Amino acid sequence: MIKYLWILIAFTFLLSAYNWYEEGYFSFLGFCVANLGAVATPILATLILQGVSKLSGLPDLPFKFSAVLSVVLSLVAYAYYALNGRAENSGTSAAQMHVIVVPIVLLSFTLLTSLMALVTSVVFKLSEGKNA
Average pLDDT, the chain: 83
Reported pTM: 0.82
> Structural domain of residue 114, as residue ranges?
2-131
Domain count, the chain: 1
pLDDT per residue over 32-68, tens digit each?
Answer: 777 888 899 999 999 999 999 888 788 889 999 999 9
**Range 8-15 average pLDDT:** 92
- Segment 79-93, tens digit of pLDDT: 888 887 665 555 555
pLDDT band for 95, please (50, 70, 90 cuts): low
User: In terms of C-beta distances under 8 Å and separation of at least 24 residues, what long-range contacts does 97-106 make, across chains too?
Assistant: 99/33, 99/34, 99/37, 100/33, 100/37, 102/37, 102/38, 102/77, 103/37, 103/38, 103/40, 103/41, 106/41, 106/42, 106/70, 106/73, 106/74, 106/77
